[in-house]
Structure 1
Amino acid sequence: MFKEFKAFIARGNVLDLAVAVIIGAAFGKIVTSLTDDIIMPVIGWITGGLDFSSYFVVLGKAPAALAGSTDYAALKKAGVSVWGYGAFVTAAVNFLILAFIIFLLIRVVNRLVPKPDEAPVAPAVEPADIALLRDIRDELRKVRT
């Protein structure tokens, strides 16, 4: 069983997938930071101080200490049922940025990786019986005319 597992892990595809997951997680953190620390503050500044992370609706009863609170993180930590549509907007922006960056990367890779040259396809050799039938047909046409 250990030998099978070792052979499975040693396959190139599994190692490539592991590396991709690790790099993807790190890349996701970079995109999250880009969104949270650079893009969303700029959007907030353009829209006059709009902070998407503070947009939520309290669905459950909040503890007395947090009644009327506008601190989304504190309400969630206290276990209050909160509909955080602002956090969703931020996550959606994260996704769009990540998807666009991946699109650009794939586009660049497709341009850099040479396409295999397609060799001209030689016409298929015609079977002898078909050639013979074609010759007979052509001779019969000559006789009719």
Structure 2
Amino acid sequence: MGLVSEFKTFINRGNVMDLAVGVIIGGAFATITKSLTDDLIMPVVGFIFGGADFSGYFLRLGEIPAGFKGNPDSYADLKAAGVAMFGWGEFLTVFVNFLILAFIIFMLVKLVNKLTHKPEPEAAAPAPTPEDIVLLREIRDSLKK
């Protein structure tokens, strides 16, 4: 029974539940970001650079194996066949996806910080100097003269 109660204590910690919620929301958010990148942004980038599918840009490094049945211009077919390739278009797609995700997370954190930020209390006016200190200062100044 000790193991069950330890597990219950572990699960009931706030940070474990927060982590679980974060992972689930992060997975769903990654799907949205991937669609934003693949379906909206990269087609525009591909159009600007002269191709509809930007992720298909690659440089074939290895030879096509004998008996290859796929399209020799298809990144996915060549990759499935194990051909060595420099897939710069796919990397660029993933990199742009990362930048978009990082920017959106930055904006979300900035918004949450703005909503949860409590304004600093205004600095109170300095307390008046006690009379004995004022008197000692006057004596000091008189002695200097």
- Per the normalisation by structure 2, the TM-score is 0.76
2:95 equivalent among 92, 97, 100: 92
Partner Cα distance (2:104, 2:26) in 1: 12
- Aligned-residue offset at 1:69: 0.6
Q: 2:121 aligns with which of 115, 118, 123?
A: 118
Q: Once the 2 structures are TM-superposed, how far is the Cα of residue 144 of structure 1 from its aligned partner?
A: 5.8
Could you tell me which of 106, 109, 112 is aligned with 1:106? 109
Find 1:56's aligned residue among 55, 58, 77. Answer: 58
CA distance in 2, matches of 1:119, 1:110: 20
Displacement of 1:62:
2.4
Q: Distance in 2 between matches of 1:40 and 1:90?
A: 7
What SS is found at the alignment partner of 2:72? Answer: coil
Measured after TM superposition, the shift of residue 14 of structure 1 is 1.0
TM value normalised by structure 1:
0.76
Instruction: Report if aligned partners of 2:43, 2:54 keep a CA contact under 8 Å in 1.
Output: no
C-alpha separation between the residues in 2 aligned to 1:51 and 1:43?
A: 9
Q: Which residue of 1 aligns with 2:47?
A: 45
Alpha-carbon distance in 1 for matches of 2:9, 2:126: 44
Segments of 5+ residues of structure 2 without an aligned counterpart are none
Q: Distance in 1 between matches of 2:133 and 2:123?
A: 28
Q: How many pairs does the alignment contain?
A: 142
Deviation larger for 95-104 or 83-92 = 95-104
Q: How much is the aligned-residue C-alpha RMSD, in angstroms?
A: 3.0
Written as runs of structure 1 = structure 2, the 5 A alignment for 1:1-145 is: 1-66=3-68, 69-118=72-121, 120=123, 138-139=138-139, 141-143=141-143, 145=145
Structure 1 gap ranges (5+): none
Relative to structure 1, the CA distance from residue 68 to residue 37 in structure 2 (aligned partners, 3 Å threshold; closer, same or farther) is closer
Give the secondary-structure state (helix, strand or coil) at the position aligned to 2:10.
helix
- Identity %, equivalent residues: 53
